[in-house]
Structure 1
Amino acid sequence: MKYIKTSLLLLSSFALASCSQDLSDYTKNSNEFDIKEYFNGNVTAWGTIQDASNVVTRRFCVELEGTWEGQDGVLAEKFFFDDGEISYRNWHFSKQADGRYIGTAEDVVGEAIGEHQGFAFQLQYTLTIPVDDTTYDVSMNDWMYQIDEYRVVNKTSINKFGVNVANVTLFFDKQDPITGCE
């Protein structure tokens, strides 16, 4: 009986692992989402952070300004959290010859790797986040989906040691007139 329970548990784990999304899931879509084009100029985003049980723990608004020169760009982000905290992140992206994006930021460990397929863009990186008096390095897996020329939805899973510890949901809008956070 113990052997059967162990086998069922292993099969369930393999089934769940095989159900995760992959960038190739979006190859049949002809609409190309290119962050260089979308994140050029001003964009505003609204989002939530959820803990591992999907309870919203924070809400925020982000003002973004993207500037590009050739294949290199800067995406300046200013976060306004519902508890009054304001924080900043400056992404530096470079579009590679193979279409991938390499990014760095002040609180990113090493490089972020971004790829797009159809209307989807995936960005994976390690982020250092402060919690109380300690900092933690967590794995970030961003999935952005372009809805139309003005709107993008972003879902991010935050993992530590391969275990989901939090999620972020964002909605970007760049339709004129741009609405700010303040």
Structure 2
Amino acid sequence: MNVSNMLKLVAVSLLAFLLVSCSAPNVEHYKNTSPNFDFKTFFNGNLKAYGVVQDFKGELTRKLVVDMKATWDGSEGVIEEDFIYDDGQTQKRIWKITLNDDNSLIGTADDVLGIAKGKSQGSVFHWNYNVELPYDGSTLEVNFDDWMYLVTQTRLINRTSIVKFGVEVGEVTLVIEKI
């Protein structure tokens, strides 16, 4: 094999590796896992979350506590989230959720740009949405790639990758508990 063909092979192999390593898992992969995550059952009533925010280097930047209250009328739900950060800053987000028969859902909130779309399979729920975050006296549009893993019927772990221009710029990890 000549040098030119060898370089092409290396380049194609590297590109294939990068594409595979950048691809996200599919929620369907978790179809047979348990306990079964039922969004409406878990997000019903009062919940409490404890979490951390990390920057792109993995360094802790903030800690937070979130009080949540979720109510339902059929397949239409409202989840009120009250965030309290360790620096004293507060934030409120009110989700309006619509559940579909196929375990998918859509959601909207004031700081969410467009519609959040998600789906659960087995013990996992995944959704994706764009958010306008306060940043240095202005706002910054980022994508939240949100994965929830049901550990028990009353506790889940939520990992959110915060992405800007296709690059992860931060991460939020929460433990959410029914109270």
Same fold by TM (over 0.5)?
yes
Shift of residue 8, structure 1, vs aligned partner? 4.6
AA at the equivalent of 2:37: F
Equivalent position to 2:92, from 88, 92, 100: 88
Runs of 5+ in structure 1 lacking a partner? Answer: none
Q: Once the 2 structures are TM-superposed, how far is the Cα of residue 133 of structure 1 from its aligned partner?
A: 2.3
Rounded to whole Å, the distance in 2 between the matches of 1:30 and 1:130 is 37
Q: CA RMSD in A?
A: 1.6
- Greater than 4 Å deviation, 4+ residue runs: 1-5
Separation in structure 1 between the aligned mates of residue 10 and residue 27 of structure 2, nearest angstrom: 33
1:123 matched to 2:127 = yes
Pick from 105, 110, 117 the counterpart of residue 106 of structure 1. Answer: 110
Name the aligned partner's letter for residue 21 of structure 2. Answer: L
Query: Does the 8 Å CA contact 2:35/2:153 hold for their aligned counterparts?
Result: no
1:13 aligned partner, one-letter code: L
Q: Which runs of 5+ in 2 are unaligned?
A: none
Equivalent position of 1:172 in the other structure: 176
Q: TM-score when scaled to structure 1? A: 0.89
2:16 is aligned to: 11
Count of matched residue positions in the alignment of Structure 1 and Structure 2: 174
CA shift for structure 1 position 45: 0.4
Provide the secondary structure at the position in 2 that maps to 1:83. coil
Match of 1:44, as an amino acid?
A: K
- Aligned partner of 1:14: which letter? L
Find the aligned partners of 1:55 and 1:30 in 2 and give their Cα distance: 32
1:68-90 Cα deviation digits (max 9, x unpaired): 11100100000010000111000
